Structure 1
Amino acid sequence: MVFLSFVYRFLTNFLFLAMVYFSLNYMEKYEHRAGLAILVLVYTGMRAASTLRAFYFFQKIEKLEAEARRLQAPINDGSGGTAGRKQLVVDVARLRRDGELKSYMDLFFLALIVLLCVAAIMRQ
């Protein structure tokens, strides 16, 4: 499932990039092409801001993971029931890492889209 989530994220980003590329290339009038490029830039800016905010969220989760591991260390010496807690911390760490990788993938495609839009605005 993890691999499929990465493939899905890649395909959706790639399809958005392809849609922007073909949309901008088939516009013949400069005014329409520039208007569409500006609208796509606004949308891309909002998505980039959301993605960057997700990094702040992942940073906070990482701090919580470290705190949970610190608090769990004395408990591990005692009674049972810690295997479930350890697995929970490991699962959260894996989900955070996967989320960060997906956010990097989003930022890469958004940067390519910004380059396409700027190129479309600059050419005549």
Structure 2
Amino acid sequence: MRFLSYAYCVVSNFVFLGLVYFSLNFLDQYPQRATVAILMLVYAAMHAFSALRSFYFFQRIERLEGETRRLASAAGEGPNSTASRKQIVLGVTELRHAGEVKAYIDLFFLALVILLCIAKIVTG
């Protein structure tokens, strides 16, 4: 299921990249093409900022995982509660890692969109 979500992320970002590419190539007049490119740049920059901000969030989650592991080992409760906590921490770790990979995929395609938009603005 995790690889399917990665594939969906890649396909949806590729479709967005294709949409930007074809919309910029089908516009004949430079002012229209530059306007669309600037609007796409603004959108891509906001989305990239959001993806970069999520890394800060993932870093905080990673700190919480370490703290939970430390507290669970120090608490010394029964083996059932320790096993359930380990399962929860393992699930959170997997979700955090999947979120980081998806954020990297998003950033890669957004960088391509930004480069494409800048190229279309610079070339007349």
Range class of TM-score, shorter chain: over 0.9
Q: 2:107 aligns to what?
A: 107
Tell me whether 1:62 sits opposite 2:58 in the alignment.
no
Distance 1:97 1:55 in 2: 11
| Equivalent residue letter for 1:6 | Y
Distance in 1, Cα, partners of 2:47 & 2:66: 29
The equivalent of 2:91 in structure 1 is 91
* Partner Cα separation in structure 2 for residue 3 and residue 51 of structure 1: 20
Partner of 1:51: 51
Aligned residues: 123
Inter-partner Cα distance in structure 2 for 1:19 and 1:108: 16
CA distance in 1, matches of 2:77, 2:37: 61
| More deviation, 66-75/16-25 | 66-75
% identity of equivalent residues? 54
Structure 2 partner of 1:37: 37
Corresponding position of 1:71: 71
List gaps (5 residues or longer) in structure 1. none
Report the AA paired with residue 79 of structure 2.
G
2:12 corresponds to:
12
Q: Write out the 4+ residue segments of structure 1 that deviate beyond 6 Å after TM superposition.
A: none
Please state how far the C-alpha of 1:72 moved relative to its aligned partner. 1.0
5+ long unaligned stretches in structure 2? none
SS in 2 for 1:28: coil
* Structure 1 residue 79: Cα displacement: 1.4
